Amino acid sequence: MDSRDSSSSSAPNRDGAAADDDGVLSVTAALAKDAALYFQSRKFAECVDVLNQLKPKKEDDPKVLHNIAIAEFFRDGCSDPKKLLEVLNNVKKRSEELAHASGEQVESGNNVGNKGSSGSKGSGTITQQFSGSNSASIIYTDEFDTSVAALNIAVIWFHLHEYAKALSVLEPLYQSIEPIDETTALHICLLLLDVVLACHDASKSADVLNYLEKAFGVGNVSQGDNGNMVAQQSTSLVGKSSSVPSSSLVSDTSSSDLAASVNASENPLSRTLSEDPLDEMFSTLDIGGQNLARSAGLTSANDLPRTTVDRSISGVDLKLKLQLYKVQFLLLTRNVKIAKREVKLAMNIARGRDSSMALLLKAQLEYARGNHRKAIKLLMASSNRADAAISSMFNNNLGCIYYQLGKYHTSAVFFSKALSSCSSLQKEKPLKLLTFSQDKSLVITYNCGLQYLACGKPILAARCFQKASLIFYKRPLLWLRLAECCLMAAEKGLVKGSCASSDRSEIRVNVIGKGRWRQLLIEEGISRNGLVDSSEKDDWALGIDGQPKLSLSLARQCLYDALHLLNCSEWSNSKSALPSNASLEENEDGASSKNSNHKNLSGIDSKASTMSVGLVNSNGDVKEPKGGTNQEIIQNSISYYEGICRRENQMIKQALLANLAYVELELENPLKALSAARSLLELPGCSRIYIFLGHVYVAEALCLLNKPKEAAEHLSFYLSEGNNVELPFGQEDCEQWRVEKPVDCEESTGAASAKNPSPEGLVDFMFLNPEEARGTLYANLAAVSAIQGELERAHHFLRQALSLVPNSSEATMTAIYVDLMLGKSQDALSKLKRCSHVRFLPSSLQLNKSS
Partner 1 sequence: MGKKMLNFEEQCQIVNMLKSSSEQKSIEETVTEFFNNSKLRHFNVCYSLALLLQDKIMLSSTERLVACAILHRSYSSQKSAANPFISFLVNAACDDGAEKYERAFVLHLLSNSNKELLIFAGVYHFLKQSASDYINNFDPSSQTFPQQEQLQQQYFEKVHPEPYSCLLKNTAVKNVLADPDLPCGCDANSADLDLLQPGAKPKLGSGDRDEALSGLIANLSLEGLAPHWIRPVPPRFPVDEKELVWLNPDNNHELQWDQGMCADTSRGAAVRDLIAKALKGPLAPNQQEQVLVELANDPKLVYHCGLTPRKLPELVENNPLIAVEVLTKLINSPEISDYFTVLVNMDMSLHSMEVVNRLTTAVELPKEFVRMYITNCISSCENIKDKYMQNRLVRLVCVFLQSLIRNRIIDVKDLFIEVQAFCIEFSRIREAAGLFRLLKTLE
Residues 208-237 that bind partner 1 (CB under 8 A): 234, 237
The single residue among 164, 296, 500, 751 that binds partner 1, judged by CB under 8 A, is: 296
Asked if 31 interacts with partner 1 (CB under 8 A), we say yes
Answer yes or no: are the C-beta atoms of 454 and 408 closer than 8 Å: yes
The single residue among 1, 11, 45, 285 that binds partner 1, judged by CB under 8 A, is: 285
Task: Write out the binding residues for partner 1, residues 602-661 only, by CB under 8 A.
Answer: 603, 606-607, 610, 613-614, 616-617, 651-652, 655, 658-659
Closest separation in Å from C-beta 768 to partner 1: 6
Closest separation in Å from C-beta 489 to partner 1: 12
Q: Which stretch binds partner 1 (CB under 8 A): 62-70, 342-350, 578-586, 620-628?
A: 62-70
Residues whose CB is less than 8 angstroms from the CB of residue 194 and which lie 6 or more positions away in sequence, other chains included = 158
The single residue among 4, 6, 18, 89 that binds partner 1, judged by CB under 8 A, is: 18
Comparison of 129 and 803: residue with beta carbon closer to partner 1: 129
Pairing of strands 719-720, 724-725: antiparallel
Q: Which stretch binds partner 1 (CB under 8 A): 391-399, 563-571, 586-594, 621-629?
A: 391-399
Comparison of 95 and 721: residue with beta carbon closer to partner 1: 95
The single residue among 548, 817, 835, 837 that binds partner 1, judged by CB under 8 A, is: 817
| CA atoms within 13 Å, Cβ hemisphere of 538 | 14
**Distance between CA atoms of 699 and 725, rounded to whole angstroms?**
15
Q: How far is CA 178 from the centre of its chain?
A: 27
The single residue among 584, 794, 802, 838 that binds partner 1, judged by CB under 8 A, is: 794
**Distance between CA atoms of 45 and 68, rounded to whole angstroms?**
10
**Which residue, 356, 411, 353, is CA-closest to 389?**
356
DSSP E strands: which ranges in 434-535?
Answer: 507-512, 519-522
The single residue among 44, 72, 73, 623 that binds partner 1, judged by CB under 8 A, is: 73
Distances (CA, A) of 842 to 132, 510, 513: 95, 6, 9
Pairing of strands 507-512, 519-522: antiparallel
Closest separation in Å from C-beta 126 to partner 1: 5
Asked if 762 interacts with partner 1 (CB under 8 A), we say no
Q: Which stretch binds partner 1 (CB under 8 A): 266-274, 335-343, 573-581, 590-598?
A: 266-274
Task: Write out the binding residues for partner 1, residues 462-521 only, by CB under 8 A.
Answer: 477, 480-481, 484, 487-488, 491, 501, 508, 510-521
**Which residue, 522, 490, 530, is CA-closest to 810?**
522
Closest separation in Å from C-beta 276 to partner 1: 10
Task: Write out the binding residues for partner 1, residues 553-612 only, by CB under 8 A.
Answer: 603, 606-607, 610
**Distance between CA atoms of 716 and 712, rounded to whole angstroms?**
6
Residues whose CB is less than 8 angstroms from the CB of residue 812 and which lie 6 or more positions away in sequence, other chains included = 507, 802, 831, 832, 835, 837, 838
Distances (CA, A) of 182 to 54, 155, 217: 27, 17, 12
Task: Indicate the SS3 state at residue 279.
Answer: helix
Closest separation in Å from C-beta 626 to partner 1: 21
Comparison of 292 and 541: residue with beta carbon closer to partner 1: 292
**Which residue, 102, 154, 832, 202, is CA-closest to 520?**
832
Asked if 115 interacts with partner 1 (CB under 8 A), we say yes
Q: Which helix (H) or strand (E) holds 169?
A: helix 163-175
Asked if 368 interacts with partner 1 (CB under 8 A), we say yes
Task: Write out the binding residues for partner 1, residues 659-718 only, by CB under 8 A.
Answer: 659, 662, 665-666, 670, 689, 693, 696-697, 700, 703-706, 708
Comparison of 206 and 805: residue with beta carbon closer to partner 1: 805
**Within 10 A of 484 (CB to CB), how many other CB atoms are there?**
20
DSSP code for 548: B
Asked if 141 interacts with partner 1 (CB under 8 A), we say yes
Cα-Cα-Cα-Cα dihedral of 166, 167, 170, 175, to 10°? -170
Closest separation in Å from C-beta 542 to partner 1: 26
Q: Which stretch binds partner 1 (CB under 8 A): 217-225, 447-455, 579-587, 624-632?
A: 447-455
Asked if 148 interacts with partner 1 (CB under 8 A), we say yes
Comparison of 315 and 614: residue with beta carbon closer to partner 1: 614
Residues whose CB is less than 8 angstroms from the CB of residue 422 and which lie 6 or more positions away in sequence, other chains included = 388, 392, 439, 440, 441, 444
Answer yes or no: are the C-beta atoms of 700 and 780 closer than 8 Å: yes
Asked if 391 interacts with partner 1 (CB under 8 A), we say no
Q: Which stretch binds partner 1 (CB under 8 A): 3-11, 578-586, 631-639, 759-767?
A: 759-767
Residues whose CB is less than 8 angstroms from the CB of residue 335 and which lie 6 or more positions away in sequence, other chains included = 633, 636, 637, 640, 641, 749
Closest separation in Å from C-beta 451 to partner 1: 9
Closest separation in Å from C-beta 255 to partner 1: 4
The single residue among 259, 381, 622, 763 that binds partner 1, judged by CB under 8 A, is: 259
**Which residue, 108, 134, 130, 133, is CA-closest to 119?**
130
**Distance between CA atoms of 738 and 687, rounded to whole angstroms?**
12
Comparison of 169 and 542: residue with beta carbon closer to partner 1: 169
Task: Write out the binding residues for partner 1, residues 189-208 only, by CB under 8 A.
Answer: 190-191, 194
Asked if 74 interacts with partner 1 (CB under 8 A), we say yes
The single residue among 412, 552, 582, 818 that binds partner 1, judged by CB under 8 A, is: 818
Closest separation in Å from C-beta 224 to partner 1: 15
Asked if 835 interacts with partner 1 (CB under 8 A), we say no
* Number of residues in contact with partner 1 under rule CB under 8 A: 238
**Distance between CA atoms of 11 and 365, rounded to whole angstroms?**
62
The single residue among 24, 229, 434, 671 that binds partner 1, judged by CB under 8 A, is: 434
